[in-house]
Amino acid sequence: MTSELDPDRIDCHIHAGLERRESLEFAFGILKHDHREIVGLLDHAELYMESPPTWADIALIESAQRLDEPSLVDLFRKRLRGPGVFYRQVRDAISAYGAGMKCAVALEINGANLDGLDPGWLDGADYLGICTTQPSGETPWGEHMAKLIASADKLRGARDMTIVLHHPFRWRLLELAASSLVDPPLAAGFTPEDARVTARALSDAGAVAEVNYASYYHLKRFPSLVVAARDAFQVLKNAGAKFSLGSDAHWLSSTNFEYEPRTALSEFGVDVEDLRLPDAFS
């Protein structure tokens, strides 16, 4: 299957839940216009938590201001019912508008919140995306990644779903750039040993890392960060890791939205042969 994949037709990371800014019918129209054939539609688990982080409340309020049909009260009611309402709504939209496309539904959770997530929230999802957190203190990056994967594997339990490490290096590199205290290519800190530890954990869990277009979009403002990301992806690739591919789009109708997956793959040194999409697309 991998040799036949066309990156321009793949997007396994589209936010289509409570914070989306257009109707699902309209979103599917855009995806078809762009000739997308493999599509992963997901939502942030934090949007449904009883005590959500501040960014989740802000995202919900912004969504209510942009969507015509549901009011803020409607969105909060959906939140209280958990992500099951998202799964049902998106699957109905796939049936109605997704003819000719291979679609799957996913949940994304920040790595810091993995241990607090209700496992039942995964019932109805096809795969689990981990918003990759970065190591702190003296913890080696590979050990940190392996712990995230192990926590996700425990949460998944016996469910038949793939784990995906979303945008594994973006936040770390942007943090380093913002500090202006270090040289990003030297301080990215993801060593060949970190790569071996991470790749082994990915393999043991049947998981994949992600080439995320939003990562490239943000990092390309700083050429040294693209170099640092490429170095990190290369050691992970050389250790045997496989990769998913997605845009991380939250607003498909934005006039400045672009998705050039082949560019991101090329800049990060990942080949089509290195892709292995979540099993839900098999």
Report how far residue 226's alpha carbon sits from residue 119's, in angstroms, rounded to the nearest whole number: 36
Q: What does R_g of the chain's alpha carbons equal in angstroms?
A: 18
Q: Which domain holds residue 87?
A: 2-281
31-54 average pLDDT score: 89
| 99 Cβ contact list (under 8 Å, min separation 6) | none
pLDDT digits (tens, 9 = 90+) for 92-136: 999 999 999 999 999 999 999 998 899 999 999 999 999 998 887
At residue 1, the pLDDT reads: 46
Question: Does residue 52 carry a pLDDT above 80?
Answer: no
For 176-192, how does the pLDDT look when each residue is reduced to its tens digit (9 = 90+)?
A: 777 665 555 554 678 88
Q: Within 10 A of 61 (CB to CB), how many other CB atoms are there?
A: 13
Q: pLDDT band for position 11 (50/70/90)?
A: very high
Q: Hey, CA dihedral for 8, 94, 21, 12, is it positive or negative?
A: negative
Report the number of distinct structural domains present in the chain. Answer: 1
pTM: 0.90
Q: Taking Cα atoms as reference points, which of 54, 60, 103 lies closest to residue 80? A: 60
Which tens digits make up the pLDDT trace of 137-161? 788 999 999 999 999 999 999 999 9
Residue 168: which of 105, 92, 102, 219 has the closest Cα?
Answer: 219
Q: What is the CATH number of the domain that holds 245?
A: 3.20.20.140
pLDDT digits (tens, 9 = 90+) for 222-235: 888 888 889 889 99
The C-alpha atoms of residue 1 and residue 14 are separated, in whole angstroms, by 22
Supply 18's token pair.
């409570």
CB-CB contact of 128 with 155 (8 Å): yes
Instruction: Give CA–CA dist 118/141, Å, rounded.
Output: 27
